[in-house]
Amino acid sequence: MRHAPSPVLRSAPRLAQIEPFHVMRILEAAKQLEAQGRDVIHLEVGEPDFATPPQIIEAGIRALQAGQTFYTGACGLPALREAIAGFYADRFGVHIDARRVIVTPGASGALQLILALLVGRDDEVLLADPGYPCNRHLVTLCEGRPVNIAVGPDSRFQLLARHVEHHAGERTVATLVASPANPTGTVLELAEIAQLAAACRKKNVALIVDEIYQGLVYERAQETALTVAPDAFIVNSFSKFFQMTGWRLGWLVAPEWAIPELEKLAQNLFLAAPTPAQHAALAAFSADTLALLEARRSELDTRRRALCKILTDIGLTLPSPAQGAFYLWADCSAFTDNTETLAARLLNVESIALTPGRDFGDNPAFMRFAYTQPIARLVEAGERLRRSLAHGCTS
Amino acid sequence: MRHAPSPVLRSAPRLAQIEPFHVMRILEAAKQLEAQGRDVIHLEVGEPDFATPPQIIEAGIRALQAGQTFYTGACGLPALREAIAGFYADRFGVHIDARRVIVTPGASGALQLILALLVGRDDEVLLADPGYPCNRHLVTLCEGRPVNIAVGPDSRFQLLARHVEHHAGERTVATLVASPANPTGTVLELAEIAQLAAACRKKNVALIVDEIYQGLVYERAQETALTVAPDAFIVNSFSKFFQMTGWRLGWLVAPEWAIPELEKLAQNLFLAAPTPAQHAALAAFSADTLALLEARRSELDTRRRALCKILTDIGLTLPSPAQGAFYLWADCSAFTDNTETLAARLLNVESIALTPGRDFGDNPAFMRFAYTQPIARLVEAGERLRRSLAHGCTS
Is there a single domain that holds both residue A154 and residue A88? yes
Among B3-17, B120-134, B210-224, the least confident range: B3-17
What does DSSP assign to residue A62?
Answer: H
What does DSSP assign to residue A242?
Answer: S
Residue B187: exposed, middle, or buried by beta-carbon count in 10 A (0-12, 13-18, 19+)? buried
Q: Give the residue among A305, A300, A303, A307 at the shortest CA–CA distance from A385.
A: A307
- Containing structural domain, residue A338: 13-51+289-388
Residue A207 · residue A174 · CB < 8 Å: yes
Is there a single domain that holds both residue A262 and residue A364? no
Burial string for A51-80 (b: 16+ CB within 10 Å, else e) reads bbbbbbbebbbbbbeeebbbbbbbbbbeeb
User: For A206, which residue in chain B has the nearest alpha carbon?
Assistant: B9
Looking at chain B, the number of H-run helices and the number of E-run strands are 12, 12
Closest CB from A9, A70, A116 relative to B47: A70
Is A7 within the bounds of a domain?
Answer: no
Q: What is d(CA A276, CA A278) in angstroms, rounded to the nearest whole number? A: 5
What does DSSP assign to residue A304?
Answer: H
For the full predicted model, state whether its pTM sits above 0.90: yes
Closest CB from A5, A106, A269 relative to B112: A269
Q: What is d(CA A109, CA A250) in angstroms, rounded to the nearest whole number? A: 7
Where residue A134 sits, what CATH number does that domain have? 3.40.640.10
**Contact assignment for B21 to A171 by CB distance below 8 Å:** no
Where residue B383 sits, what CATH number does that domain have? 3.90.1150.10
Is there a single domain that holds both residue A24 and residue A87? no
Give pLDDT, residue A3: 36
Q: What is d(CA B64, CA A54) in angstroms, rounded to the nearest whole number? A: 9
Is there a single domain that holds both residue A85 and residue A229? yes
Of the three residues B270, B286, B302, the one that is the final residue of a domain is: B286
Mean pLDDT, rounded, for B206-231 = 97
Give pLDDT, residue B4: 35
Q: What is d(CA A158, CA A162) in angstroms, rounded to the nearest whole number? A: 11
Q: What is d(CA B313, CA B322) in angstroms, rounded to the nearest whole number? A: 17
Give pLDDT, residue A392: 58
pLDDT-flagged residues of chain A (< 70): 1-8, 392-395
Q: Give the residue among A278, A276, A233 at the shortest CA–CA distance from A254.
A: A233
Is there a single domain that holds both residue A269 and residue A122? yes
Is there a single domain that holds both residue B163 and residue B306? no
Of the three residues A285, A306, A338, the one that is the final residue of a domain is: A285
Residues in A touching B74 (Cβ below 8 Å)? 24
ipTM score of complex: 0.94
Q: Is the dihedral of CA A280, A283, A288, A294 positive or negative?
A: positive
Closest CB from A24, A118, A276 relative to B12: A118
Q: How many domains does chain B have?
A: 2
Mean pLDDT of chain B: 94
Helix (H) or strand (E) holding A300: helix A287-314
User: For A70, which residue in chain B has the nearest alpha carbon?
Assistant: B246
Question: Within a 10 A sphere around the Cβ of B1, how many other Cβ atoms?
Answer: 6
Is there a single domain that holds both residue B159 and residue B87? yes
Is A84 within the bounds of a domain?
Answer: yes
Is there a single domain that holds both residue A76 and residue A201? yes
Residue B135 · residue B114 · CB < 8 Å: no
DSSP string, B273-340: --HHHHHHHTTTTSHHHHHHHHHHHHHHHHHHHHHHHHHHHHT-B--S---BTTEEEEE-TTT-S-HH
Q: What is d(CA B153, CA B140) in angstroms, rounded to the nearest whole number? A: 27
Is B393 within the bounds of a domain?
Answer: no
Is there a single domain that holds both residue B245 and residue B304? no
Of the three residues B256, B286, B316, the one that is the final residue of a domain is: B286
Is there a single domain that holds both residue A137 and residue A211? yes
Is there a single domain that holds both residue A174 and residue A206? yes
Chain Cα centroid distance, residue A144: 20
Long-range CB contacts (within 8 A, 24+) of A291-298: A292/A53, A292/A55, A293/A53, A293/A215, A293/A241, A293/A242, A293/A243, A296/A48, A296/A50, A296/A243, A297/A215, A297/A216, A297/A218, A297/A241
Q: What is d(CA A209, CA A202) in angstroms, rounded to the nearest whole number? A: 17
pLDDT, tens digit (0-9, with 9 covering 90-100), for B168-179? 999 999 999 999
Among A285-294, B19-28, B140-149, B383-392, the least confident range: B19-28
pLDDT, tens digit (0-9, with 9 covering 90-100), for B5-37? 334 688 899 999 888 877 777 888 888 899 999
pLDDT, tens digit (0-9, with 9 covering 90-100), for A7-35? 468 889 999 988 887 777 788 888 899 99
Give pLDDT, residue B10: 84
How far A312 CA lies from chain B's nearest CA (Å)? 31
Is B6 within the bounds of a domain?
Answer: no
What does DSSP assign to residue A99?
Answer: G
- Residue A296, C-beta contacts closer than 8 angstroms, at least 6 positions apart: A48, A50, A243
Give pLDDT, residue B9: 82
Q: What is d(CA A140, CA A358) in angstroms, rounded to the nearest whole number? A: 18
Is B5 within the bounds of a domain?
Answer: no
How far B153 CA lies from chain A's nearest CA (Å)? 27
Is there a single domain that holds both residue B192 and residue B310? no
Residues in B touching A5 (Cβ below 8 Å)? 204
Pick the more confident residue, B38 or B24. Answer: B38
* Best residue in B69, B127, B243 for a mutation probing chain A (most A CBs within 10 Å): B69
Give pLDDT, residue A31: 86
Is A183 within the bounds of a domain?
Answer: yes
Residue A36: exposed, middle, or buried by beta-carbon count in 10 A (0-12, 13-18, 19+)? exposed
Closest CB from B6, B12, B116 relative to A141: B116
Give pLDDT, residue B392: 58
Is B4 within the bounds of a domain?
Answer: no
Is B8 within the bounds of a domain?
Answer: no
Peptide bond just before B180 cis, omega within 30 deg: yes
pLDDT, tens digit (0-9, with 9 covering 90-100), for B74-127? 999 999 999 999 999 999 999 999 999 999 999 999 999 999 999 999 999 999
